[in-house]
Each structure stands twice: as structure tokens, then as C-alpha cells.
Amino acid sequence: MKKTVMLKKNYEFREVLNKGTCTRGFLLDIYIKKNNKKINKLGIAVSKKAGNSVKRNKIKRLIRENYRIFEENLSVGNSFVILWKKKLDYNNFNFYDVKKDILKIFNKSNIFIKS
């Protein structure tokens, strides 16, 4: 099991958000930018408007786990920033809703390699 490489610095997030392409779903917005490396990098951002720290961390765990499931089937050399839509209450959605939305977005953005 390989460890997901995370975006941590503010300038890394800004670069992907400003220069990357955005693909929108029902629950999430995903920004994708080529990073010219042999690894994918992931950044997750959840606004304070989504709820308190417990809710935000639960959303991040859901997104991270769903990304981990699809990580092996993604084309290599991309940086991703996944944003949770502020207006949505996470209590109305579960793991499978997030999984379906991420799969739809990855297919729409043509970075998903079917195996």
C-alpha cells in the first residue's frame, strides 16, 4: 500500500487553483494540473462554512479514502486539489455518494485509466 503524496504549502495549492483546469461535480470541485513528475499529489480543502472541525475532518477523511481507492487507476503526473462545496451539509451524504461523484469527475476529466 503506497502513501498518498499530499500538497501542503499554500503556494502549491494556489498554483493548482490558478493554473489548473476545474471539473465540477455535485459535491466536489476538482482542480487538476500537470506537475511533470512521476507521482500524483493531492490537496484537500474544506471551507469553515462547511461546519466545525469535526465535520470538516470527516469530510476530508471521506475524500481521502475515496481518492485512495481510485489512485491506482489515475494517470500519473498530476496535482489535484479537491474542494468540498460550502453550501452542502455532509450529514445528507455518505461514502458512496462521494465515491460516485469522484468517479464521475475523474471520468469527465479524462484522467481515469480503466483497468
Amino acid at 2: K
Structure confidence at residue 89 (pLDDT) = 76
pLDDT of 51 reads 86
Radius of gyration of the chain (CA): 13
Q: Does domain 5-108 have CATH number 3.40.50.970?
A: no
Provide the whole-model pTM: 0.90
CA 106 to chain centre: 10
Question: pLDDT of 38-68, one tens digit each?
Answer: 999 999 999 998 889 999 999 999 999 999 9
User: Which of 66-75, 81-90, 96-105 is least confident?
Assistant: 81-90
Confidence of residue 114 (pLDDT cuts 50, 70, 90): low
**Domain limits, the chain:** 5-108
pLDDT at 3: 74
Q: What pLDDT score was predicted for residue 87? A: 78
